[in-house]
Structure 1
Amino acid sequence: MADEIVSHWDGLYREKDDAQLSWHEDDPSLSLELCDVAGVDRGTSVIDIGGGTSRFAERLIERGLSDVSVLDVSEAALDRSRRQLGPVGEQIEWIAANVTTWTPDRYYDLWHDRAVFHFLIDADGRAAYRDRLCRCLRPGGYAIIATFALDGPEKCSGLPVVRYDPEGLSEVLGGRFTLVAHRSHTHNTPWGSPQSFQFSLFRMAQ
């Protein structure tokens, strides 16, 4: 199964440019807004889960952050992002791994995930994700997790998803996390189709 997941996402990133990827957004403004709510500054360490070719890490570097990591299951996505960013990409740590089997070796102040968690349709996958989140997020740190909302699509890129509202996501994450803020968001795909998302900001207990 792990090899199939890698092959699926590598294939998409090799066959399609950003304008052909339904999840792509040029301006991650809502994620950055929640970063402001969390008090992210130049000294904050951030990991972007499933970052692919997202512009989020680039925007953080532009804001003066110097400790930014991007994790994605697709090496093809990371390679493309590195090439696109040029010298900026040299300031980012790139991690090719599946978040559910990854072994974190450090702490981060902020965990950012736009549209990975909703692909975890079984309880074991969600438990493995929570384990990595708890192991690498600094006590008192923040997590931004965005998923399809309850009225969002039932599939993405041909794969089934689980849709959430902020309260349901909070319940899945468990008692170590407190819901701090949430936003509803309509993402328009590069070809103009609307997709309903929810963005939630959590703080982990000290």
Structure 2
Amino acid sequence: MDLPQRVIELDELTLRCFNGEADLAELFRVIEESVEHLRPWMPWVAEHSRAKTADFLARRMDLWASGEAFTYAIVVDGAIVGACGLFRRGETPDNGREIGYWLHPAATGRGLATRTVRALIEQAFRLPNVDYVEVVHDPANRASGAVPARLGFTEHLRRPAERLAPAGTGEDQIWRLTRSQGNILATGEGRLTRG
């Protein structure tokens, strides 16, 4: 099976596979510092603990090897500032992948999420039989929605969702980018190269 790159260098921004236990202290600290920023939108933050962070890290290698999830630390100047991933949820068909991302509040507003998602699009379309990628977020989370809009995704659909996060509306906004739209990224044309 073709797998995404384990390290992606983007000037001062690096996406790299998590290093298990070696990343535990730093990732836990970054999440701790980001709890209030993430709490409105990320339901997992409510149960955040050092043990859950350790469990998250321990599962990354197996999920990567199986092709179920490719998770990266977002690193700037040698420090973890967030996490992102390319994965398949239970309901996602084999020909689609979802992209997720979060940043420490001090790392927002600098284009890091946009550059991260752009890199994950490239990795997704390197995988065989992947025809589209999606970004799913609560419609009220405008900052998350700005990223796919900036990168040429189209608003695919809205669906009811369980309201798990405090600021959630009970709805998911799904953005989709198809392989043919993603080819614009590879050729350097259009909206995907901006932003």
For Structure 1 versus Structure 2, the TM-score category normalised by the shorter chain is 0.3 to 0.5
TM-score, normalized by length of structure 2?
0.41
TM-score, normalized by length of structure 1?
0.39
